[in-house]
């Protein structure tokens, strides 16, 4: 080990984004330890009960989102709240503005997006990346918005412009404490379009990013503003999405 490598160890602590375990120096570019990476790879291959494809190939939308005007929803992995790599990594990113984690998750999203059948009909210069904004409280508390961070990481990798299109309203009630019916009613009051949304969106194809999609209500609310602003094709993209268990 050289002295610069040795000193480099003290500049930032390299921890697995999912379990917090210290990563060896030679793995400094990785976001996950080997165990969590293996777990992530399993979460990627979970089979969708509707289309029968692996999650990383499934483009099914939750009910709230279908009919919104979006074409599909891509997701890198299945989400579950119980200690899944996806859950832990997204929670880690929420609290830590960590470029390695954001970069890893953006790369995973890019790999599922790159198979989209609409891409050959979309031009990069006529496409923007945008995101479902976090609550104002979360942004105040953590100092940044992890959905924006993911969108920017994807923008950096692809060269496609990232733009804010929808904002959180002041005094909006948090979605996560509500049930599905309440979410549906509440979500209409959560978001508002930015003042010049027409200018930003009109005629442009959209890649709409969120970290986790549960009911799809927040995403659908954002899609409705994009549609109203006469967006072109709208493709939704998330790190993880909830799947109902097969019954």
Cβ 69 to Zn ion, closest distance in Å? 19
128: exposed, middle or buried (Cβ count in 10 Å: 0-12, 13-18, 19+): buried
* 213: β partners: 241
Cβ 21 to Zn ion, closest distance in Å? 5
Between residues 23 and 190, which has the closer beta carbon with respect to Zn ion?
Answer: 23
What's the CA gap between 155 and 106, in Å, rounded? 9
What's the CA gap between 152 and 159, in Å, rounded? 10
Within 10 angstroms of residue 139's Cβ, the number of other Cβ atoms is: 15
Between residues 112 and 190, which has the closer beta carbon with respect to Zn ion?
Answer: 112
Closest CA to 103 of 172, 30, 40: 30
Cβ 172 to Zn ion, closest distance in Å? 30
What residues line the site for Zn ion (CB under 5 A)? 16, 18-19, 21, 33, 36, 48, 50-51, 58, 60
Cβ 91 to Zn ion, closest distance in Å? 13
Within 10 angstroms of residue 26's Cβ, the number of other Cβ atoms is: 8
Cβ 89 to Zn ion, closest distance in Å? 9
Between residues 21 and 163, which has the closer beta carbon with respect to Zn ion?
Answer: 21
What's the CA gap between 247 and 232, in Å, rounded? 37
CA angle 19-24-26, nearest 5°?
A: 130
Cβ 39 to Zn ion, closest distance in Å? 8
Between residues 89 and 160, which has the closer beta carbon with respect to Zn ion?
Answer: 89
30: exposed, middle or buried (Cβ count in 10 Å: 0-12, 13-18, 19+): middle
Between residues 33 and 231, which has the closer beta carbon with respect to Zn ion?
Answer: 33
Between residues 133 and 216, which has the closer beta carbon with respect to Zn ion?
Answer: 216
């Amino acid at each position: 080990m050289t002295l610069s490598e040795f000193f480099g160890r003290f500049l930032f602590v390299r921890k697995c984004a999912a379990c917090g375990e210290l990563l060896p120096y030679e793995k400094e570019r990785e976001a996950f330890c080997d165990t969590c990476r293996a777990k992530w790879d399993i979460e990627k291959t979970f089979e969708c009960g509707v289309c029968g494809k692996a999650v990383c190939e499934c483009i099914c939308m939750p009910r709230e989102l279908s009919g919104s005007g979006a074409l599909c929803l891509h997701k890198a992995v299945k989400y579950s709240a119980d200690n899944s790599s996806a859950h832990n990594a997204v929670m880690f990113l929420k609290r830590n503005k960590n470029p390695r984690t954001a970069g890893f998750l953006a790369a995973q999203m890019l790999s599922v997006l790159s198979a989209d059948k609409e891409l050959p009909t979309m031009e990069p210069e006529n496409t923007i990346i945008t995101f479902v904004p976090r609550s104002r409280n979360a942004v105040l508390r953590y100092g940044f918005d992890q959905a924006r961070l993911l969108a920017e990481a994807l923008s950096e990798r692809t060269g496609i412009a990232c733009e804010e299109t929808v904002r959180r309203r002041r005094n909006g009630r948090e979605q996560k404490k509500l049930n599905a019916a309440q979410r549906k009613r509440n979500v209409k009051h959560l978001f508002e379009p930015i003042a010049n949304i027409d200018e930003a969106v009109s005629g442009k194809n959209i890649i709409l990013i969120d970290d986790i999609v549960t009911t799809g209500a927040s995403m659908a609310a954002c899609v409705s503003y994009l549609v109203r602003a006469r967006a072109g094709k709208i493709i939704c993209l998330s790190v993880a999405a909830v799947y109902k268990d097969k019954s």
